[in-house]
Amino acid sequence: NAGVTQTPKFRVLKTGQSMTLLCAQDMNHEYMYWYRQDPGMGLRLIHYSVGEGTTAKGEVPDGYNVSRLKKQNFLLGLESAAPSQTSVYFCASSDGYRGGEKLFFGSGTQLSVL
Amino acid sequence: AQSVAQPEDQVNVAEGNPLTVKCTYSVSGNPYLFWYVQYPNRGLQFLLKYITGDNLVKGSYGFDAEFNKSQTSFHLKKPSALVSDSALYFCAVRVRYSGAGSYQLTFGKGTKLSVIP
């Protein structure tokens, strides 16, 4: 059972380039999330989805777009990368909506924007 | 604002000694509280959660957490630390996102635990 899989694991971009991060889960979870982790700031929610075809903004959505075309996949896009988007990105999924269920995290994508 | 705070950036403890990682919260209503652990180069893993009931919550890997409503705290504890417990620990609280009608987790900044042999 793979759980939550993120690709790629590492990426270096130049300012202005675009890229897409892919998250896939095999647990049939309804909810999926994208977080970024920065030193001294913990995890901050970028966007999330409560089901196939739905997306919503989190705490820090600017500069990012997301899509949930299939239940098992949640894509995070950067249209024009900026150095401020250098971070470690984590995808997570859960099977509930009341916030009492635990999150399952991927192993992360380390992104550097030069 | 609804949030959690982890007042210590780093906690050092000798192997075999008891450990405590502190967390305080600020929410309206009854809190849903969580602890997660992150080992190097890995994603976060769920340790335990408090929703209601007994103030002492038992979790994975021998960890417990004590909910204290009067002090608005949810400290993580273990009676005897192991070197393998060295990791980054995050406290989290459920918050409601306005407009979406859904609940999400807000995480603290994390506490680095170092267990010294």
Q: A93 forms bridges with which residues in the sheet?
A: A32, A104
Does the pLDDT of residue B8 top 90, yes or no? yes
Residues of chain A positioned with their CB less than 8 A from the CB of B45: 105
* B40 — pLDDT class (breaks 50, 70, 90): confident
Low-confidence ranges of chain A (pLDDT < 50): none
What is the predicted pLDDT for the residue at A101?
72
Which residues 55-114 on chain A approach chain B with CB closer than 8 angstroms?
Answer: 56, 58-59, 90, 92, 97-100, 102-108
The answer to whether the CB atoms of B107 and A90 lie below 8 A apart is no
Across A89-98, B4-13, B15-24, B78-87, least confident range: A89-98
Q: A12 forms bridges with which residues in the sheet?
A: A112
What is the predicted pLDDT for the residue at B27?
87
Rounded Cα distance between A20 and A75, Å, is: 7
Q: B97 forms bridges with which residues in the sheet?
A: B102
Which residues 29-48 on chain B approach chain A with CB closer than 8 angstroms?
Answer: 32, 34, 36, 41-46
What is the predicted pLDDT for the residue at B30?
83
Higher pLDDT, B65 or A50: B65
User: What is the nearest CA distance from A42 to chain B, expressed in angstroms?
Assistant: 4
The values of phi and psi at residue A94, to 5°, are -150, 165
Mean pLDDT, residues B18-30: 93
Across A49-58, A94-103, B1-10, B82-91, least confident range: A94-103
What is the predicted pLDDT for the residue at B101?
57
Of A44, A92, A99, which has the smallest distance from its Cβ to B103's Cβ? A99
Q: Does B84 touch chain A (CB under 8 A)?
A: no
Average per-residue pLDDT in chain B? 91
* B1 — pLDDT class (breaks 50, 70, 90): confident
What is the predicted pLDDT for the residue at A98?
60
Q: In what order do the strands lie in the sheet with A73-78?
A: A4-7, A19-25, A73-78, A65-67
The answer to whether the CB atoms of B45 and A105 lie below 8 A apart is yes
Residues of chain A positioned with their CB less than 8 A from the CB of B29: none
What is the predicted pLDDT for the residue at A7?
96
Report the share of chain A in percent with pLDDT over 70.
96
Higher pLDDT, B48 or A96: B48
Residues of chain B positioned with their CB less than 8 A from the CB of A98: 103
Does the pLDDT of residue B100 top 80, yes or no? no
What is the predicted pLDDT for the residue at A105?
94
Cβ B106 vs Cβ B3: under 8 Å = yes
